[in-house]
Amino acid sequence: MSKIDEKKEYIGILKTYLGVLVAFILSLGAGVSKLYLHRDINVLFWIGIVMIFVSGILFLLIARKAHIEIRSLRNLKD
């Protein structure tokens, strides 16, 4: 497998991770909002809020890594 194919495969994996992370963030948001609407603000609510922020930061890091890998494709030759 050539280097460019390996890079493309790696970028595809990063995109998959981003998709899974978006689904995770949305489900956390739904759970936290349900707790808030039922006025059930307890430990689970605050854990959910923290996990949303942590997941958001993780999303940004993975997206940045994907952009770096995409830019590095310009320098590769098959």
The answer to whether the CB of 25 falls within 8 A of the CB of 52 is yes
pTM: 0.82
- Above pLDDT 70, what percent of the chain? 96
Give the pLDDT mean for 13-18.
94
What's the confidence (pLDDT) of residue 77?
A: 63
Three-class DSSP category at 25: helix
Give the pLDDT mean for 26-36.
96
What's the confidence (pLDDT) of residue 75?
A: 78
Residues 6+ apart with CB under 8 A from 19: none
Q: Is the pLDDT of residue 78 over 60?
A: no
